[in-house]
Amino acid sequence: MKKIEHQPLSDRAYQAIREGLQEGVFQPMQPMVIRTLAAEYGISATPIREALQRLVAERLLIVLPNRSIVVPRMTRQRFLELMPIRTSLEGMAARLATPQFSKAELDALRNLVQRVSETTRTYDAKTYLLLNREFHFAIYEKAGNPELLQMINDLWLKVGPVFTGLFDDNYYRQHANDEHQNILAAIEKGDAEAAEHFMRQDIDIAAKALLPLMPEEAEA
């Protein structure tokens, strides 16, 4: 995790933890221990506590009866409800973004895909998750639609914690970068429909790897 060095610390902590939720740094039902987070981010406990309180208020974290703060559990039913929304919105973003890339931005996207390939060879799940988010949002941000980007951000905050299980699936591990390469190729060709198709497919393939890891219902 990156150290947080600049003010205001509570806002920085809030943003860093949000990004961690999207990247799969934090797993479902993982306790958010203030002392541990403060040490990892290199700041005091107070801004971490304030950040966690904001995330609880936004229902991105929950408080258990024993007062511990944890990442919510994702059930299979809830995940399946979010899937068609994700494929529609993220596919749309890929389509809108395709004609917007400059040569330098395409070069950066190619570099990202190459770096992702290295993580699949070394089975480096942690780095894969970081680069996976960076790749997707490099595309979504080019769609030029702030409202769409915000909705996608919100969806990733809900599903991101389950991404930690992706490399538990052997097939996914071996093919984790296939659709990224297809998306890149489509964008390079200026084929917006193909970019949308492969983005939807990327989300579907990840879902097939993750669904068996999820409970049918939330535990009481």
- The burial of 50, by beta-carbon neighbours within 10 Å (0-12 exposed, 13-18 middle, 19 or more buried), is given as middle
Provide the pLDDT for residue 7.
61
* Contact between residue 71 and residue 21 where contact means Cβ atoms under 8 Å apart: yes
Domain that holds residue 66: 9-70
**pLDDT attached to residue 123:** 85
Handedness of CA 132, 133, 135, 139 (dihedral sign): positive
Residue 218 domain flag: no
What are 76-121's pLDDT values in tens digits? 999 999 999 999 999 999 999 999 999 999 999 999 999 999 998 8
Domain membership of residue 33 (yes or no) is: yes
Q: So what's the pLDDT on residue 1?
A: 58
**Do residues 62 and 85 share a domain?**
no
Domain boundary among 50, 70, 90: 70
Q: To 5 degrees, how large is the angle CA 184–CA 19–CA 133?
A: 15
DSSP 8-class letter at 62: E
Q: Prior bond to 8 cis, omega within 30?
A: yes
Mean pLDDT per block of 10 residues along the chain (220 residues) reads 66 92 88 94 93 94 94 90 96 98 97 94 89 96 97 93 84 90 98 98 93 69
Hey, what are 91's tokens?
């596919």
**What interhelical angle do 146-159 and 125-140 show, nearest 10?**
160
One domain, residues 51 and 95: no
Q: Are 140 and 188 in contact (CB under 8 A)?
A: no
How far apart (Å, rounded) are the C-alpha atoms in residues 2 and 18? 13
pTM value?
0.82
- Is residue 219 assigned to a domain? no
Residue at 3 is within a domain = no
